[in-house]
Amino acid sequence: MEEHLTVGRVAELADVSVRTLHHYDAIGLVQPSARTSAGYRAYSAGDVERLREVLAYRRLGFGLREIADLVDDPATDAVAHLHRLRGLLLDQRDRAAGMVTAIDRELEARAMGIRTTPEEQLKVFGAQLYEAIGSAYPATRRTEPRIAARVWDALGDARTVLNVGAGTGSYEPPDRDVTAVEPSAVMRAQRPAGAAPCVAARAESLPFEDQSFDAAMAFSTVHHWQDPIAGLREMRRVARRVVVFTHDASDTGWRQRFWLTRDYLPEVAGLVAGRPSVDQLASTIGARLEPVLIPWDCADGFFEAYWRRPEAYLDEHVRRAISVWTRVGPEAEQRAVNRLRDDLSSGRWAERNRDLVALDAAELGLRLLVA
Ligand SMILES: C[S@@+](CC[C@H](N)C(=O)[O-])C[C@H]1O[C@@H](n2cnc3c(N)ncnc32)[C@H](O)[C@@H]1O
């Protein structure tokens, strides 16, 4: 019986009751394939794998009947389940981060004697990350013309362009026929008057026919998608050219190269762990990779934009328009900001980053994928 686990041991390891396991057995959800000589239920490695999937979907809030359909689907193998579970868990974590931000905002408002409306109070529960932080976005996020030029150049002679994860439309080329896709209502509502028409949808399931556009672009959004590979495949399906601006999240490409992640916010490692590498993203669409240097005075306030203007990260408005700061949680954020403030006033930051001051543009792992 070495390769089997008894019901008691499985219950202990998974932190569920034996009664729960008996119930799963009775309804046919996870039926242990063997019995010990004493007649107890015994779980094989395959049974445990199935149980693991069931418990993970359960923890995500799925009902038992729904779970049975998911784990019985012959088209989904263990690896596909792990990918799906991972995406769902990341989504849940981002929602929780969104809720914390919305609650912090309400606490601040209450402390100033401002009562939030019933509508605002209920919004907390529907909080997607960008529903919570999206309203802070326009303060510092705008088109960086030098990077926009690179994207528009890569679009070639495309006349019709789909902009996926379009946000407020910062990088939409003004001289082409653009259609935008954006799942967040808060972001859609902030698109300027006269902006391209915008469809409420997700990259992973684009509501367009095959090859409907000359080109599809995605700027600074792929890292938010639940399933980046599925989203890129969708872009490939609907357009004959694909242009993506993203970052190389590997240790050498990004995390260790940028002083902010290296010296102040090691938590970003947890945010990017297990995400597809930039090479995997590129090979999904058959793209070539082009480095994009960030000018020292970058106009778009994304995460890496202020590499030569470190004081900017002390500004709450700057941080609220950068999702990383919300995703790492308030404790890590406060610790990093306090440490940076100390290092700036003691001269330690300047000493450590002496070589940056002479640079006009920095290579911090940002990449253009062109297919
Ligand atoms: C950092 S913003 C970038 C917005 C815009 N591309 C820009 O550069 O200003 C990321 C955007 O991705 C959107 N997003 C999140 N998940 C998405 C998904 N699954 N499919 C498409 N867009 C998504 C967010 O709502 C948000 O507007």
Residues of the chain with pLDDT under 50: 1
Strands 41-43, 34-35: parallel, antiparallel or unpaired by DSSP? antiparallel
186 and 311 in a common domain: yes
Does residue 172 have its Cβ closer than 6 Å to ligand 1?
A: no
Instruction: Kindly state if the Cβ of 333 falls inside 6 Å of ligand 1.
Output: no
Instruction: Report the C-alpha gap between 99 and 128 in whole angstroms.
Output: 8
Ligand 1 pocket, residue 6 CB under 6 Å: no
Report the pLDDT value the prediction gives residue 16, as an integer from 0 to 100.
Answer: 94
Tell me: do 185 and 63 sit in the same domain.
no
With a 6 Å cutoff on the Cβ, whether 173 touches ligand 1 is no
Residues 20 and 124 both lie in one domain:
no
Does residue 133 fall inside a structural domain?
A: no
- Please give the pLDDT value at position 253: 61
Strand order in the sheet with 5-6: 5-6, 41-43, 34-35
Our answer on whether the CB atom of 167 is closer than 6 Å to any ligand 1 atom is yes
Residue nearest to atom 19 of ligand 1 (CA): 225
Do both 319 and 211 map to the same domain? yes
Tell me which of 110, 128, 146 is where a domain ends.
128
Residues paired with residue 160 on neighbouring β-strands, in sequence order: 177
How far apart are alpha carbons 196 and 236 in whole angstroms?
21
Residue 187 Cβ contacting ligand 1 at under 6 Å: yes
Pocket test for ligand 1, best of 163, 172, 219, 224 (most atoms within 8 A of CB): 224
Question: Same domain, yes or no, for 213 and 319?
Answer: yes
Q: Is residue 89 part of a domain?
A: yes
Q: Atom 14 in ligand 1: which residue has the minimum CA distance?
A: 165
Q: Which of 42, 72, 102 is the last residue of a domain?
A: 72
In this prediction the pTM is: 0.75
Give the count of alpha carbons within 13 A of 284, CB side only.
Answer: 22
Residue 356 lies in a domain: yes
From the CA of 137, how far away is ligand 1's center (Å)? 11
How far, in Å, is the centroid of ligand 1 from the Cα of 293? 21
What does the pLDDT read at residue 123? 64
Query: Does the beta carbon of 130 lie inside 6 Å of ligand 1?
Result: yes
- Specify the pLDDT at position 1: 44
Closest residue (by CA) to atom 13 of ligand 1?
A: 165
Q: DSSP string covering 80-141, please? A: HHHHHHHHHHHHHHHHHHHHHHHHHHHHHHHHTTPPPPHHHHHHGGG--HHHHHGGGGGGT-
116 with 148, same domain: the answer is no
CA 224 to centroid of ligand 1, rounded, Å: 7
Q: Is residue 228 within 8 Å of residue 222, measured between CB atoms?
A: yes
Residues 268, 252, single domain; the answer is yes
Residue 131's pLDDT is 72
Last residue of a domain, one of 128, 163, 197: 128
CATH number of the domain at 41, please.
1.10.1660.10
- Look at residue 43 and tell me if it is in a domain: yes
Q: What angle do CA 246, 314, 146 make, to 5 degrees?
A: 35
Say how many Å lie between the CA of residue 113 and the centre of ligand 1: 33
Closest CA to 175 of 197, 153, 159, 164: 159
Residue 215 inside a domain? The answer is: yes
Q: What is the pLDDT of residues 208-233, one digit of tens each?
A: 999 999 999 999 999 989 889 999 99
Say whether both 255 and 360 belong to one domain: yes
Residues 328, 266: Cα–Cα separation, whole Å: 10
User: Which pLDDT does position 362 carry in this prediction?
Assistant: 95
What is the pLDDT at residue 238? Answer: 98
CA–centroid distance, residue 72 to ligand 1 (Å): 33
Q: What's the number of domains the chain is made of?
A: 3
Q: Do residues 161 and 205 both lie within one domain? A: yes
Specify the residue with its C-alpha closest to ligand 1, atom 17.
225
- 65 and 86 housed in the same domain: no
What's the CA gap between 48 and 42, in Å, rounded?
10
CATH of the domain at 240: 3.40.50.150
Identify whether residues 340 and 240 lie together within a single domain: yes
Q: Identify the residue whose tokens are 């290296």.
A: 262
Residue to mutate, 221, 300, 326, ligand 1, most ligand atoms under 8 Å from C-beta? 221
82 lies in which domain range?
78-128
Same domain, 98 and 228: no
